[in-house]
Structure 1
Amino acid sequence: MLPSSSWGKRKPRSQRLGWVRCDARGNMWARQEGLRQPHPHPHALIRCPSSSSSSVSCSGDSEEEDMGLLEVGVTDIKPPAPELGPMPDGLSPQQVVRRHILGSIVQSEGSYVESLKRILQDYRNPLMEMEPKALSARKCQVVFFRVKEILHCHSMFQIALSSRVAEWDSTEKIGDLFVASFSKSMVLDVYSDYVNNFTNAMSIIKKACLTKPAFLEFLKRRQVCSTDRVTLYGLMVKPVQRFPQFILLLQDMLKNTPRGH
C-alpha cells in the first residue's frame, strides 16, 4: 500500500501544484511567494489540451498501472541530446538573449533528467535488490513514489525539445512545447503526488538513518562514489524545484519576446 495517511489526501486540482497552470485561453499563470500573476504565452496559437485521463491514485500498488505507461524501463530511454547549432549572423540583441535562454533550458533539463536517473539507478534499484534489506520494499515504494513517472515525462519532453531546438533558428518557438508537455492532467497529478509525499519520504529516510546502520552506510558509500557528492536529499528535492525553475526561464524568454511573436 502506497502513501495513504492524511498527508497523502488529494487536494482540489486548483490547489495542487500551485506553481503553474493554464487558463482557458492558453495563458500560463505562475504563483510565486503567494502572488498570482498572469503570463500570456509568448506564442499566440496555444491551447491547453483538455485531458480526460483519470486521476493518479496514491493507493495503487503499481505506479505504471496508474499512468498507463508501457512496460519499458524508463532508465533505458535514451532521448537524443538537444543540440543548438552555431549562432547565425545578423541576429538582433533580443534574439541572441533568447538563444542563451534556450541554452539554459536545454542544459538544465539535461542535468535534471540525469538526476532523476541517478535516483533510480544509484538508490532505488540497489535498495530494492539488496539482501538483507537495508530498507523494506514497502518503504522504498513510498520514498521513491512517482520518480519513474516523472522521469518518463521528462524523457518524452527531451525528445520533443531536441526536435524544437534543431528548428530554433527558423521558428524560435518553445512555449507551446511546455504547454503540450506539462499541462496534461496526468503530469500535474504525478508532480502533485510527488510533492505531497516529499516530506513523508524524507521522514522515512531520516528515521532509517537513525535506526538502520546498513542504510546509513549505503547512503554514505553512494555519496562518496558520486563525482559531485550530491546527497540523496539533494537529488530528490530537484522535482520540487523544477516547475519554479521553468517559470523563471519562461518569464525571461517572455520578456525577450516581441509582441505578436
Structure 2
Amino acid sequence: MTDVPPINRIRRESTLSRDEYRERIVQEILETEISYVDSLHTCIVYYYEKLQTCQPPILSRKQIEDIFLYFDQVYNVNQAFLNDLQTYKIEGKLSRSIGETFQRFIPYLKVYYQFIGNSGVSLHTLTELEQSEYICSVFEDLRCQIPGTNQLDLRGFLIMPVQRLPRYNLLLTDLLKRTPNTYVDYPKIEIALKEMKKLTDSANKAIIAAERRRRLFLIEGKISGFSGKLVEPHRCYIKEGMLMKVCRKTIKPRYFYLFNDILIYGIGDSNNMVISQVVDVANIVVKNVEGSINGFELFTNKKSFVVYAIDQNEKQEWINEINKAVEKMLNTLRTRNQLNDDTFIKPLFVPDDTVVKCMICNKPFSFFIRRHHCRFCGKCVCNDCSLMRLPQPPLNIFERTCSICVDRRLLSAQPIDKDLIRSSLFSLDSISIEPTSLLLK
C-alpha cells in the first residue's frame, strides 16, 4: 500500500463531514497515546531498569535518579489515562467522553511540571556522562537491544514528555473546533483545553528555568575560584564574551560573564576561566568613553576600569545588557527595601603610561618621584600630593588619598556614591585611551 500524496490527502480530508473529521481526531488521540505510552515503557525497560540492575554498576544511584526523576510517574499517569481511553473505546463511548477523561486526568498530568523542572539536571548529568567513551558505548548497546524500529537514544525518549503537552493542546483545539457546542462533551472539552493550556504554560516556564539551570551548570564547570554556588534558583545567565581590560600598566584580555545579579571576569576563555573578580550588579555603573568607538567604563564598588569590545555593536550590546540588569536589580532591591544608597563606587585609575607628571602639582615622574593613585578619585599623583590616608567604605580601611579629595571629603563628610559617579563630580572626565597596539578602535 502506497502513501497518499499530501495534496490528495488534503482533498480527501476536505470531503469529510464535520462528524467524520471529529472521529478522526478522536482516533488520533487514542493512537498517538498508545504509541507514546509504548515508548515510555520501552525507555523504562531498556534504559532505566537495565541501568539499575546491571552488574557491576555503571552509574551511581544518584546519577540514575538525576536522569530519570519523575519519568516513571509520567508513565504511570499516562498508562492509566490510556487504560480509560481504551475502556471507553471498547464500550463505544470514547467519542463523547474525551473531554471528561482529559478533565479528570489533568490534575495528575501536573507531574509533567515536576519532570520538566528536572530536565536541566537530567541533561547536564547526561552531558557529563557522555564525556566517557565507555558509558557512550553502554548507552549504544542498550539502544541496540530495543526491538523493532523504535531504537531511540536516551535523549530521544527523555524529550517525549516535553513534546506531548503541546500535542495535547493541538488535538484538543482541533477537536473543539469540530465539536458542535450542543454536543454533550463540548463543555468538558472546553474546560479541559483551558486547563491544558494553563498546564502547558507552566511547563514552558519550567522548560525555561531548566534550560537556565543547565546553562549555569555548564558555566560552573568552566570556571574556578568562585566561592559559593553559581547555580542558584534566582540566577539567570545573560551574556558572556572577551573584553580588553585597561589595567594600570597594560591592556589585557579578560573573559566576562554577566548574570542578572553578578558580573564575573577573569583570565581565560569560554572553555576555562580563573575568576579575578565578582561584582554585584547593583553596584555597577556603566559610562561610555567619549570619542571611543569600542570603549566603555565600568565603575564598581570593588574596582573600576575601562574595557574595549571587539566592535561598536558588541560594545553597545554590553552597555545595554548591563544597564538593563542593573535597573532590574535596583528595582527589585527597592521593592524589598534592601537598597543601599551609600554604596561606595571605586574610581577609575588613570593608567600609568598615560601620565608623565603629577596631576595635582605637575611634578614630572621619575625613578625617585613615583606614581601613586588616589583611591577616591583615581588620579595619578606623586607621594607629596597623597600623604593622607582616609577610611574608605565599606570596610573603612585607610587608603591613600590625594590632597584634593582630602579637602573635599573633610568638607562634605560624604562618601562617593553612584549618583556622584554618574554626574562625574568625583571622577575624571572619560579617559580616551585607545589600545592601538591591539588594533581596537
With normalisation by structure 1, the TM-score equals: 0.60
Q: Deviations over 1:46-76 (max 9, x none)?
A: xxxxxxxxxxxxxxxxxxxxxxxxxxxxxxx
1:147 matches 2:49: no
SS in 1 for 2:97: coil
1:156 matches 2:156: no
Q: What is the Cα deviation at residue 169 of structure 1? A: 6.3
Residue of structure 1 equivalent to 2:162: 240
Selected match of 1:250 from 172, 176, 182: 172
Q: What is the Cα deviation at residue 171 of structure 1? A: 5.8
Q: What is the Cα deviation at residue 221 of structure 1? A: 1.2
Residue of structure 1 equivalent to 2:59: 135
Could you tell me which amino acid in structure 2 is paired with residue 207 of structure 1?
E
Q: What is the Cα deviation at residue 116 of structure 1? A: 1.0
Does the 8 Å CA contact 2:23/2:95 hold for their aligned counterparts?
no
Does the 8 Å CA contact 2:48/2:64 hold for their aligned counterparts?
yes
Could you tell me which amino acid in structure 1 is paired with residue 152 of structure 2?
V
Residue of structure 1 equivalent to 2:138: 218
Output the aligned Cα RMSD.
1.8
Residue of structure 2 equivalent to 1:101: 25
Structure 1: runs of 5+ lacking an equivalent: 1-91
Matches within 5 A, 1:32-181: 93-168=17-92, 172-181=96-105
Change (3 A) 1:126 1:171: closer
* Partners of 2:161 and 2:30 in 1: CA distance: 16
Does the 8 Å CA contact 1:101/1:252 hold for their aligned counterparts?
yes
Residue of structure 1 equivalent to 2:122: 201
Q: Deviations over 1:156-206 (max 9, x none)?
A: 111211122234469633111101011x2x531x21110011121011112
Identity of aligned residues (%): 23
Does the 8 Å CA contact 1:134/1:214 hold for their aligned counterparts?
no
Change (3 A) 1:171 1:141: closer
Change (3 A) 1:169 1:124: closer
Q: What is the Cα deviation at residue 134 of structure 1? A: 1.5
* Partners of 2:56 and 2:95 in 1: CA distance: 55
* Partners of 1:131 and 1:163 in 2: CA distance: 40
* Partners of 1:121 and 1:171 in 2: CA distance: 32
Change (3 A) 1:192 1:210: same
How many residues are treated as equivalent by the alignment? Answer: 166
Does the 8 Å CA contact 1:127/1:135 hold for their aligned counterparts?
yes
Does the 8 Å CA contact 2:26/2:95 hold for their aligned counterparts?
no
* Partners of 1:210 and 1:233 in 2: CA distance: 15
Residue of structure 2 equivalent to 1:86: none
With normalisation by structure 2, the TM-score equals: 0.36
* Partners of 1:170 and 1:134 in 2: CA distance: 45
* Partners of 1:160 and 1:121 in 2: CA distance: 23
* Partners of 2:93 and 2:178 in 1: CA distance: 15
Residue of structure 2 equivalent to 1:187: 109
Matches within 5 A, 1:13-24: none
* Partners of 2:164 and 2:95 in 1: CA distance: 26
1:230 matches 2:156: no
Does the 8 Å CA contact 1:139/1:204 hold for their aligned counterparts?
yes
Residue of structure 1 equivalent to 2:254: none
Change (3 A) 1:102 1:132: same
Taking CA–CA contacts closer than 8 Å with sequence separation of 6 or more, which of the two structures ends up with the larger relative contact order?
Answer: 1
SS in 2 for 1:113: helix
Could you tell me which amino acid in structure 2 is paired with residue 240 of structure 1?
V
Change (3 A) 1:247 1:171: closer
More strand by share: 2
Residue of structure 1 equivalent to 2:320: none
Change (3 A) 1:93 1:169: farther
Q: Deviations over 1:118-160 (max 9, x none)?
A: 1211001111112222211111011100111111111111121
Structure 2: runs of 5+ lacking an equivalent: 1-15, 184-441
Q: Deviations over 1:60-109 (max 9, x none)?
A: xxxxxxxxxxxxxxxxxxxxxxxxxxxxxxxx811111111111111110
